Amino acid sequence: MKKISSVIIVFAIILVASFTVIRTASAEEVKITGVISKIEIAADQKSAIAVIKDNKSSESITITITDEATLDKFKDKRILEGDEIRTKFEKDGDKNTSKMFKKTAGC
Amino acid sequence: MTGRIAAIMLGCALLAATAIAKEHPGKEQILKDGYQGPKTCEACHPGKAREFLGTVHWKHASKVDHVDNLNPDEEHGMKNRIYTMCNGNDIVNNLKEVPPNALGKTKFTGCNTCHPGDHASDVGSTGPQAEQAIDCLICHSSKYDFSKRKPAKDKNGNVVMTQDRSTEAAANIGRPSIKNCMACHEAAGGGAMIKRGFSMAKDAEVHVTKGIICVDCHQVKNHKFPTGRDPNNWAHDGIYMTCVGECHTSKPHTDADYNKHTEKIACQTCHIPKTGGAFSKDFTKWEKQANGFYEPSTLKREVNETAPVYAWYNLTVSNTPTFIGPKGSRTDGKSKIYPFKIFQGKAYFNKKNGQLLSMDFAPPISNGDSLAGVASAAKILGIKDYEPVPGWQTIYFGSNHQVTPKNKALTCANCHAINGVLNFKELGYASKEIEKLTNPELYFEKLLKLQQENE
């Protein structure tokens, strides 16, 4: 009985680990440049979504932003709808999580 | 020593916390009367507006006596400099509306976009109108609405810079935060973290991790900012700063071997092992963007992606049309080895005198024609006799920010291994000296002990 339980536990661990590996492997890093068409800050102010129209494909892509520095720039309007940005995000299924989010403009 | 540093850090953190928590006196008055620009500030801080007009932040220039080939009696800075990170300056790239591009779109652009005035009172202006044009709140308010600061045309068609002069912004004032400083300093050189390539995020700079902000180190006196000695940062308020002072001593390590190095090795060399941002730009070749405007073609890396170069630096600067960088040697008795972010830019030189030419960005932004930009700049500057030929300039930027945690700083083998980061030959050492400097005998026992402790 003990042996069967051990085998089941080991099997479960392998299964969970496999899913984790597959999930990690499926996350893809994407870079785009485009204009922000929408910024929406979550009610708890801890995240936001920004919709970017990719300059190359013209596709609108929704990106979730959680880093404090970028959220702060949304709040005090250093980054606005209409600004062009360069972003690097992790695409995992339907969710795109920002890893870098910068305005292209400078002086 | 560690205890002392910890105490000072704690002190700084407490002071910062107090500063954040403490409300600026006069808030109720501001809420009652509203904000009327600098004259509201001057009710309690008389003379401060005039004082600010004399600083580098307003003048974008100062007299410079440590850089070759400059007239020490004249003022130099981003107001009038010509170099290849920013091939223009406040004069030729004065904030203006660029001509329409092929899509019929236009936009405002200019080097003095970050100048804390209203553009009607611009770089270096003086007098009562200039005093009242100062955007005090962009540096001092924690609630500044940046969407209100933008270039626009006034009723006479002049380009002005609007400001957030709301009561809310004025009621939330205090010492400048990192955000206030980086609003301008982050985007210099053509985009976020392009010019100097450092981040002041908590995870990127150990001082910020510990709660220290820009003005804790750049301790401002009467609006004058102490600066470091970046060979490419010429204008200054007459006061300089180093790591050694209130927070660090000249023998800051618990390890005597490390302390022996401080006489010849700048702190930055070991404690700022990486840099980033643009490492090359070509102002003769502008790339068309999706919005129909053009930008100078730029090779860039992310923060922390570039290895610095190391050179002796005696705090004086070589300045020629093709090179801006540190002067110094291992034998002059004044130099230390510093890290630099190296940058190479291509632009047009005047074949007739070898001097670097400036460029007005308005024409190339609109249609990619870089020579039209040179012609416009020459006209603005009154240069008639010129023949533009493309060429490269090398610039050494000081690497003075983005200090790494001490467990990630360079250690013995990073420099003394044969494949270490220091090129001893370039630094002036003879073959026999290099043999000694790269002999593992120097560090083996120490590193082995450390390795054993960490295993």
pLDDT value of position B3? 47
B90 neighbors B112 (Cβ within 8 angstroms): yes
Sign for the CA dihedral angle at B407, B412, B418, B423 comes to positive
Contact criterion met (CB < 8 Å) for A107 and B145 = no
Q: Check if B201 contacts A (Cβ < 8 Å).
A: yes
Contact criterion met (CB < 8 Å) for A76 and B145 = yes
**Residues ≥6 apart with Cβ < 8 Å to B412:** B257, B442, B443, B446, B447
Q: Check if A91 contacts B (Cβ < 8 Å).
A: no
Nearest-neighbour CA in chain A from B76: distance (Å) = 19
Q: Buried b vs exposed e over A40-61: b needs ≥16 C-beta within 10 Å?
A: eeeeeeebbebbbbbbeeeeeb
Closest chain A residue by Cα to residue B143: A76
Nearest-neighbour CA in chain B from A71: distance (Å) = 12
pLDDT value of position B14? 46
| DSSP reduced 3-state for B260 | helix
Q: Which of B179, B191, B290 sits opposite A102 (nearest CB)?
A: B191
B416 neighbors B257 (Cβ within 8 angstroms): no
Q: Check if A57 contacts B (Cβ < 8 Å).
A: no
Q: What are the residue boundaries of the structural domains of chain B, listed by start?
A: 27-116+123-133+186-406, 411-455
A contacts of B192 (beta carbons < 8 Å): 102-103, 106
B contacts of A68 (beta carbons < 8 Å): 202
Q: Could you report the per-residue pLDDT of B197-240, keeping only the tens digit for each?
A: 999 999 899 999 999 999 999 999 999 999 999 999 999 999 99
Q: Is B190 a residue whose pLDDT tops 90? A: no
- Cα–Cα distance for residue pair B341/B401, rounded to 1 Å: 11
User: A–B: how many Cβ contacts below 8 A?
Assistant: 53
pLDDT tier at B246 (50, 70, 90 boundaries)? Answer: confident
* CB count in 10 Å sphere of residue B310: 22
A contacts of B111 (beta carbons < 8 Å): 107
**Region of poorest pLDDT, from A10-14, A27-31, A85-89, B425-429:** A10-14
Q: Could you report the per-residue pLDDT of B296-311, keeping only the tens digit for each?
A: 999 999 888 999 999 9
Pairing of strands B317-320, B388-398: unpaired
A contacts of B290 (beta carbons < 8 Å): 33-34, 55-56
Of all residues in chain B, what percent carry a pLDDT higher than 70? 95
pLDDT value of position A107? 74
Q: Check if A82 contacts B (Cβ < 8 Å).
A: no
pLDDT value of position B155? 96
Q: What are the residue boundaries of the structural domains of chain A, listed by start?
A: 29-103
A31 neighbors A102 (Cβ within 8 angstroms): no
Q: What is the mean pLDDT of residues B87-98?
A: 96
Contact criterion met (CB < 8 Å) for A100 and B143 = no
A39 neighbors A50 (Cβ within 8 angstroms): yes
Q: Which of A58, A73, A102, A107 to mutate to test the interface with B (most CBs of B within 10 A)?
A: A107
A contacts of B115 (beta carbons < 8 Å): none
Amino acid at B337: I
Q: Which CATH class is domain A29-103?
A: mainly beta
Contact criterion met (CB < 8 Å) for B192 and A55 = no
Pairing of strands B336-350, B309-313: antiparallel
Q: Could you report the per-residue pLDDT of A1-35, keeping only the tens digit for each?
A: 556 666 666 555 555 555 444 444 567 999 999 99
Question: Whole-number mean pLDDT of chain B?
Answer: 94
- Cα–Cα distance for residue pair B88/B76, rounded to 1 Å: 14
B contacts of A34 (beta carbons < 8 Å): 290
pLDDT value of position B442? 95
Closest chain B residue by Cα to residue A76: B145
Contact criterion met (CB < 8 Å) for A106 and B191 = yes
Q: Could you identify the residue written with the tokens 């006479």?
A: B156
